[in-house]
Structure 1
């Protein structure tokens, strides 16, 4: 199991990236819920963020790939627009233990 961060470090409407060995992930908080995905675009296999910890569009409503602008739903990881439309980001299983986000699946 891998600890990412305290839930208090992940602010509402924001995202944080984590460079884990061989498998970077990122977390997003929206409407009080936390979502964790592998940091890999399903179209090109590249990292999604355009700057450190910047995974969301300008409105903070969708996850955006910086390489080609694909847009993904935060809640499902489903691609709504762009060359990977219909594909999905890969979710990463986690639990919250003592206010810490802990990965439980293969990250």
Structure 2
């Protein structure tokens, strides 16, 4: 596993992007739990954010694709609105400990 950040660097209701060799990830914290996904829309294969670390809709309750507005559940990555319903973001195994947030390399 690779360390993404200290736990306090991913605040509740916020998102962050991470560039790793060969792939890009996004992390979101909701209800105290971190979720990590591949930063790639299942519809077009493009990165999801419209600005660095901006992956959430205006309510901070759904992950949003900046290209076409698809909305994804934070907890599962399932698309619930937009051109790709029924698809989902690729989840990345992660864990947290006192040293920070870690994701499968």
Matching residue of 1:17: 17
- The list of structure 1 runs, each at least 4 consecutive aligned residues, that deviate by more than 2 angstroms after superposition, is none
Instruction: Give 1:101 shift.
Output: 0.8
TM-score (norm. length: structure 2): 0.96
For structure 2, the 5+ residue unaligned runs are: none
Matching residue of 2:102: 102
RMSD: 0.9
| 8 Å CA contact 1:8, 1:99 repeated in 2 | no
Q: Secondary structure at the match of 1:24?
A: strand
Instruction: Give 1:98 shift.
Output: 2.1
Aligned length: 105
TM-score (norm. length: structure 1): 0.94
Matching residue of 1:6: 6
Instruction: Give 1:99 shift.
Output: 3.7
